[in-house]
Every structure is written in C-alpha cells, then in structure tokens.
Amino acid sequence: MASLISCPHCGSRPKEEFTIKGDANLARPSPDAGPDAWYDYVYLRDNPKGLHKEYWHHSSGCRRWLIVERDTVSHKVLTVSDAALAKLGGEA
C-alpha cells in the first residue's frame, strides 16, 4: 500500500503527489548578515534522526505549502499543517 499524507485541504493523498522542499525549522538570516551566515543558511543542512519538520508542496493537488512533521527513521507522518497558517501563528 502506498504511503499517504493527510493534506488539510484535500484529505489523504499518495505521497507521490507531494514534493519535499526542505527543513521547516531554519531561521532566515537578517538581510545584513555576513556571507558566512548566508552560506550556512543556503548550503549547509543537518540530517536529523527522529522527529523533523519539513516544508512539503502539494504539487499535484491543491498546490499549497504544508509543514509535515515526520519521523526520519520510520517515515511515519505525525502532523500536517498549512504552512501559511503556521507562520501566522495559527496551527503548527
């Protein structure tokens, strides 16, 4: 059986409809941050083991940006929320 992601807008959909776009925990440096801070932000990533929040794009569905919290060991998805609402202080 295919892995399913529970999109808050479309319901349960196959994971193949989504594109993983990266770490949702990264803080963007200030515009006046030095080149080292920007290099770290753009190029350097951790490869965490365990719970991790990522940006996912429902590219073959509603085309909304989501924050998916999943276990990187088991690949089990724990929560899915709309990224726009999470950034506005709504659901996380």
Can you list the domains of the chain with their CATH numbers? Answer: 4-87 (3.30.2270.10)
Angle 53-59-61 (CA atoms, 0-180°, nearest 5)? Answer: 105
d(CA 64, CA 21): 12
Give the tens place of pLDDT for each residue, 12-67: 999 999 999 989 988 899 999 999 999 999 999 888 899 999 999 999 999 999 99
Radius of gyration (Cα) for the chain, nearest Å? Answer: 14
Asked whether residue 71 carries a pLDDT value surpassing 50, the answer given is yes
Residue 51's φ and ψ, nearest 5 degrees, are -70, 135
Which band of pLDDT confidence, cut at 50, 70 and 90, is reported for residue 92?
Answer: very low
Asked whether residue 1 carries a pLDDT value surpassing 70, the answer given is no
Asked whether residue 2 carries a pLDDT value surpassing 90, the answer given is no
- pLDDT at site 63: 97
